Amino acid sequence: MLEDLAVIEGEYLRDILYQPQALENTLAILETSKPLQDVAARLNKGGFQRVVLTGMGSSFYALHPMNLELISQGFTAVMVETSELIHYKKRFFDPRTLVIAVSQSGQSAEMVRLMQTNQGRCAVIAVTNTAGSPLARHADVALVTQAGPEFSVSCKTYVTALMTLKWLSDVLCERNLRHTRQELEQAGPAAAAYLVDWKDYVRALARTLTDVRHLFLVGRGAALASVGAGALIIKEADQFHAEGMSSAAFRHGPCEMLGEEIFVFVFAGDAKTRDLNQRLFCDIRQQGGRAELVGSDATVPACRIAEHRPGIQQIMEILPVHMITLALALQAGREPGRFELATKVTTTE
């Protein structure tokens, strides 16, 4: 059964394989408009006390790398799910706040309420895949990704959002955008080179995950984007239990669950905490648990990705998770990514 891939060759797979082109299309339209330059100048002159980064689901997780970058540059940045921001943290809605809102549809219930709640009090930069959406129309600056229509589970909208947020982060931090573009030009070809072997990856992962009932995805730093979004899309695409968390949080209790039905994907991440993540991986193995690294030292080819610059790394890290979703669907003999209860756009709070 694991040799016949016909069951998974649907619209979700087509979206996954289109990601290199979506990245190239998005990079081609990224530019610094006058309104964006004005917001960046105001931020760097101390015109904002804080930057609030907000979204829901994978759009929220995609903000982790930007959050770290802004903080490293001395800005006060706060990540808040939009559902919490609009009900419990309304004090952020004042002229001293810059809001960066990410939503692939730009019309989820939370984003519509965000615009209604703000009423122009905060400057808003929107990152969305839908040019005519309420979010894009009401934002001071709208950066529109070029992922095209997406069937269901966020994949090409997620990676194009990551690319756009890297660009935006470098604009706000007043970096050399020529270097940024040169760096981001590597994303499409790197993703395409990885996806060439998708069939082999899926079959191998389907065998690796035999008898697994629960998945953990763990990492640190910017890789929190990958583990958070990764666990979410596994649940969406496969109706399969997966949990994303920090590697440190996994040691604080969940490691007690280790057993034959548990599999842990440890994202190696960047140099700052790579040794800690690799130590966790080794400890899981030594305790008889089932685990694999996602990074350059992975033993499973599907999880082996070369080290890249920060703007590319999280794009590449999510690709093995896409292969996992396909492998789990192949095991179950069902089409991945076809919603039965959820909808592509969440219109109810």
Residue boundaries of the structural domains of the chain: 15-185, 197-332
What is the structure's pLDDT at 157? 98
Q: 284-334: per-residue pLDDT in tens?
A: 999 999 999 999 999 999 999 998 988 899 999 999 999 999 999 999 999
Q: What is the mean pLDDT of residues 261-273?
A: 97
Segment 145-161 shows an average pLDDT of 97
Residue 344 binned pLDDT confidence (cut-offs 50, 70, 90):
confident
Q: Which residues are within 8 A (CB) of 138 and not within 5 positions of it... i.e. 6 or more apart?
A: 115, 118, 124
Q: What percent of the chain has pLDDT over 90?
A: 95
Range 109-116 average pLDDT = 96
Report the pLDDT value the prediction gives residue 348, as an integer from 0 to 100: 87
pLDDT band at 1 (very low <50, low <70, confident <90, very high): low
What's the rounded mean pLDDT across residues 40-64? 98
Is CATH 3.40.50.720 correct for 197-332? no
Say if 15-185 and 197-332 have the same CATH topology: yes
Return mean pLDDT, the chain.
96
At 340, is the pLDDT very low, low, confident or very high (cuts 50, 70, 90)? confident
State which CATH number among 3.40.50.10490, 2.130.10.10, 3.40.630.30, 3.40.50.11810 fits the domain covering 15-185.
3.40.50.10490
Query: Does the pLDDT at position 81 exceed 80?
Result: yes
Q: Is the pLDDT of residue 341 over 80?
A: no
Q: For 238-257, write each residue's pLDDT tens digit.
A: 999 999 999 999 999 999 99
Residue 339: band (very low, low, confident or very high) from pLDDT cuts 50, 70, 90: confident
